[in-house]
Amino acid sequence: MKTFKHISLIAAVLIGAFAVQDASAGNYPGRKKDDQQNMITIKGKVVDAETRTPLVFATVAVLESNVAIVTNIDGEFTLKIGETVTSKNLEVTFLGYKNKVIPISDLKDNGGKNIIELESAPIPIKEIVVKPLDPYDIVKKAIRNIGKNYEDVPNLMTAFYRETIRKNRTYVSIGEAVVEIFKAPYFADGRFDGARIYKGRKSSDVQKMDTVLFKLQGGPVSVLQLDIAKNTESVLTAEAMEYYNYSISGVIEIDEKPHYVIDFIQKPSVDIPLFMGSLFINMETFGITEVEFGFNLEDKEAAASIFIRKKPMGMKVIPEIATYRTKYREQNGKLHFVYSRAEVKFKVDWSKRLFNTYYTTMSEIAVTDRTDQEVIKFTGKEKIKYSDVFTEKVSAFADQEFWGDYNVIEPDQSIESAIRKLSRKLKFSDREDN
């Protein structure tokens, strides 16, 4: 069915292959020297003002600019800003909370951590339409308004990409890169998004793979497919809507604007695994600002056939969790893709082994800058392909100053610890080889 042609793309490309073997970049010009400037570094943590709970994936952006980043799972962020914008303000936003604007000059720079508290934003009664609402009509209006609400010219984006693989609770592979994204206009026939690696690094512990080399396929290209306002086939088309039930579960504030929360789930009569989740739709413009969704894993065998490209004989792979998240940021009346994340957990069962092993993959991409000026589409040779394994395209971890002035997602505490351990092991192996 045409409607579901991207189901395998969004799901399966996130997981590449299992193979019993040992583990064994494209370049393009970066910023011109004339574009480089002295940078200040702002470190911070975004928390709930009342409970002090970290706010995960909050957006931290420089107002009147395209520079932004998201917080990690500890609510922490690091933002590198050119000195020319220090007179401007930082804006912190999070779903269901009031926006907070802070003068950059008031924040500690170069290592000092700033605690930023956000207050919850309950929706006033007057904002809620009392008359009965049809969630199907709201979603249909969102579909009809995609061309109006999202970018109608190509953009060139700078983004940070990270992917990790955990065996049970231990990180066995970490890869990171600064990438460039060619973002085609929404509803542009024949013009697809593309990504190319500017600078990347990896580290892995093959011994802890326990004879299984778990590969994540697609890299940045796969998480770009989670931009469902562009890749609408699976959820946001009139044809796809026939396979889902929709309901309104509430109203919430995002970026100081009220949004419908529209839940969707596949109808019981549909026998192919689909998605379920929530659309956050602006009550005035009907633009989709955020999406939280997951893959229906009730039929484990059917789901496994979509996720797994290849596996050894005697191994049974069962998907346990598959969750996704996508965020957009409004600027000048248009919504722009800024973040997506995918996390998938598998149970691996060998026929002749007593205990199961769990593998969890995570991949995320955050847009840190963009421009719509002098945008040129990438050539086919430069682009990352769906069949590529990202960690085979980048080199090993090196110096601590690897990222320089580029904005990256702050690693959470467990990832940071894993990076240190894997890096030490890599250096030790290098000394032994020499």
Residues 6+ apart with CB under 8 A from 27: 198
* pTM for the whole structure: 0.83
Q: What is the mean pLDDT, run by run of 10 residues, along the chain of 434 residues? A: 44 39 35 55 92 93 88 90 75 92 81 86 59 84 94 91 87 87 78 83 62 65 88 84 92 90 93 91 95 89 75 76 92 92 85 75 90 84 78 69 76 73 54 47
Indicate whether 299 belongs to any domain: yes
Indicate whether 333 belongs to any domain: yes
Indicate whether 431 belongs to any domain: no
DSSP code, position 383? S
CA–CA gap between residue 33 and residue 431 (Å, rounded): 35
CA–CA gap between residue 5 and residue 274 (Å, rounded): 12
- Which run of H or of E encompasses 222? helix 220-224
Indicate whether 422 belongs to any domain: no
pLDDT of residue 399: 58
String of DSSP letters for 368-416: EEEE-SS--PPPTTTSPPTT-BGGGSSEE---TTTTTT---PPPPHHHH
Decide: residue 82, CB within 10 A, 0-12 exposed, 13-18 middle, 19+ buried. middle
Number of domains in the chain: 1
Given the structure tokens 């092993």, which residue do they identify?
357
pLDDT of residue 1: 44
pLDDT of residue 218: 72
- Which run of H or of E encompasses 277? strand 275-282
Question: Using DSSP, how many helices (H) and how many strands (E) does the chain show?
Answer: 7, 20
Indicate whether 406 belongs to any domain: no
CA–CA gap between residue 196 and residue 177 (Å, rounded): 10
Report whether 86 contacts 354 (CB < 8 A).
Answer: no
Starting at the edge strand found earlier in the chain, the sheet holding 100-103 runs 68-70, 59-62, 89-93, 100-103
Query: Which residues constitute the domain of residue 209?
Result: 2-27+126-398
pLDDT of residue 293: 93
In sequence order, what E strands does 34-112 have? 39-48, 59-62, 68-70, 76-82, 89-93, 100-103
Indicate whether 415 belongs to any domain: no
Indicate whether 36 belongs to any domain: no
In sequence order, what E strands does 189-243 have? 194-204, 213-215
Indicate whether 410 belongs to any domain: no
